[in-house]
Amino acid sequence: MLVAATSQFRVHFPETTVAGALPFDRFPALSLPRFVLASIGILVIGFLLGMRHATDADHVVAVTTIVSRQASLSRAALIGALWGLGHTLTLLGVGGAMILFKLVMPPWLGLSLELLVAVMLVVLGIVSVIGGDRSHRVLESNSRPLIVGTIHGMAGSAAFTLLALPLIASPMLAAGYLLLFGVGTIAGMVVVTTAVAVPSLFAASRMDGARRALRLTAGCASIAFGLYLAHRIGFVDGLFTGAPQWTPR
C-alpha cells in the first residue's frame, strides 16, 4: 500500500518562526543528512509511483484507442506526453489546493470522478469503432490526449496519492512529491504509448487491414472496460445506491 510505504518516510518538522525554514542549529549535525535522505526517499517514491500509475488499466485502454491510429512512434510518444501533461496539471492544481487548504476528498466525489473516466472510456471506444474522417480528426487532435489526461488526473490512484499527502509534514516536500509524481506519470505514459504503438505499426506494415482490426479491437475493449467500471462504481461501490464506499485505487 502507498500509505504504508510512504509512512515509513514521514518527516516531522519542528516549529519555526519562518515558514518553511528548518532550524538545524537546534539539532545535532546528523539532523541535516537524515532530513535530506528522507526527503530524497519521498521524492524518489513519488517519481516511481508516477511511472507505475501510468500503467493502470484504464489509462492503457484510453490511450490505446488513440495510439492505434498513429503512423509513427514519435506521434505515439507525443500523445503519451500530452496525456501525462494534462494529468499532471490537474494533479498539481487539486493537490496544491488540498495542501494549502487541508482538504479531504469525500467518497461520493471520488466515485463520481471515477465514473466520469468510465463514461469517457465508452465515448472513446465508440468514436474509435465508428471510424470515419470525423472520428479520425477527433482522435488525431493534440487536445484529445490532453483532455483525457486531465480527466484521469483526479481519478483512481491519483486520488490515492492525494490522500497520502497528509503523511508528509512539510508542504514544500508534499508539493515536490506531487511534482515528481507528475513527471513520473509523463515518463511512464511516453513508454506505454510507444510500447503500444510498436506492434501496431509492425502489423500495419505487413498486413492489409491490420490497423483497422487493431482500432476496432481497441475500441471494443474501451467500451467493455468502461461499462465494467461504471457498473462497479455505481453498484458495487455504492454511488447509485446511496451508500458510497470509496477505496482510491
* Residue 236 pLDDT greater than 60, yes or no: yes
The reported pLDDT for the residue numbered 225 is 96
Mean pLDDT (whole number) for 28-48: 76
Output DSSP code: residue 56: -
Q: What CA–CA distance (Å, rounded) separates 229 from 58?
A: 9
pLDDT tier at 165 (50, 70, 90 boundaries)? low
Cβ-contact 157, 26 below 8 angstroms: no
Counting Cα atoms < 13 Å in the Cβ hemisphere of 46 gives 27
* Residue 223 pLDDT greater than 90, yes or no: yes
The reported pLDDT for the residue numbered 29 is 43
Cβ-contact 240, 231 below 8 angstroms: no
Cβ-contact 161, 56 below 8 angstroms: no
Which range, 121-135, 176-190, 220-234, is most confident? 220-234
- More confident call, 50 vs 102: 50
Q: What are the respective helix, strand and coil percentages of the chain, to the nearest 5?
A: 75, 0, 25
pLDDT tier at 95 (50, 70, 90 boundaries)? confident
Q: What CA–CA distance (Å, rounded) separates 33 from 56?
A: 35
